[in-house]
Amino acid sequence: MKKLLVSLAVTLGLVSFAHAAGDAKAGEAKAAICAACHSANGIAMIPNYPSLAGQHESYLTKQIMEIRDGVRKVPEMTGIVTGFSDQDAQNVAAYFAALPKNLGQADPALLERGQELYRAGDMAKGIPACTACHSPNGMGNEQAKYPVLSGQNPAYTAAALKKFRDGERANDPNNMMRAIAAKMSDKDIEAVSNYVFGVN
């Protein structure tokens, strides 16, 4: 009986997960409010704001819900997603996930160090390679909710890493990003943020 209950719980969980996908069409209208900062095409023109186009739906849903629920503090978004239901969050995430992602061009002056950190890490500092979670082409991991980094605004990526490093942002699983960013200098952060802007 115990095995049956466990099996049923797992099955119901999987069914719930399967039906949790967002509806991009329904999300389009709701996403109009996002355009002021993230642009209508999801590629932010303001360097300090993240591009959302082509980002994983699961990651965007998590971020929207955590900002809404106060788990992740983003003052610029205060009140914007307050009225979003879970389904609204999933729909908006699905809309942005379906848009073509950005691809930038890395600054050659920062390329070598950025590539080294992203692909090999820095064992002397205890920094693992970013590819372990974010993949060699910067496309992240949808199931694990690890974000796409390819084409992300360098200023935004750098700001996010510094917030993790300083403990201002704490919505990373198992303290993972905070532990890594704590070992990175400002120059390391600038270099890797520049590199992922152009990685593909």
Q: Residue ranges for the binding site? A: 34, 37-38, 77, 130, 133-134, 177
Classify residue 168 by its DSSP letter: S
For residues 189 and 181, is the Cβ–Cβ distance under 8 A?
Answer: yes
Phi, psi of 43 (to 5 degrees): -105, 105
Would you say how long the chain is, in residues?
Answer: 200
Name the binding residues for heme c.
Answer: 34, 37-38, 77, 130, 133-134, 177
Q: In terms of DSSP H, where are the helices of 40-134?
A: 57-68, 86-97, 108-120, 131-134
21 to each of 14, 38, 88, how far by Cα in Å? 12, 22, 11
User: What are the tokens at 46?
Assistant: 């303001």
Written as six digits, the tokens of 117 are 């950190």
Distance between CA atoms of residues 136 and 122, nearest Å = 16
Cα 29 to the chain's mean position, in Å?
22
Angle at CA of residue 88, ends 87 and 94, nearest 5°: 90
CB 62 within 8 A of CB 147: no
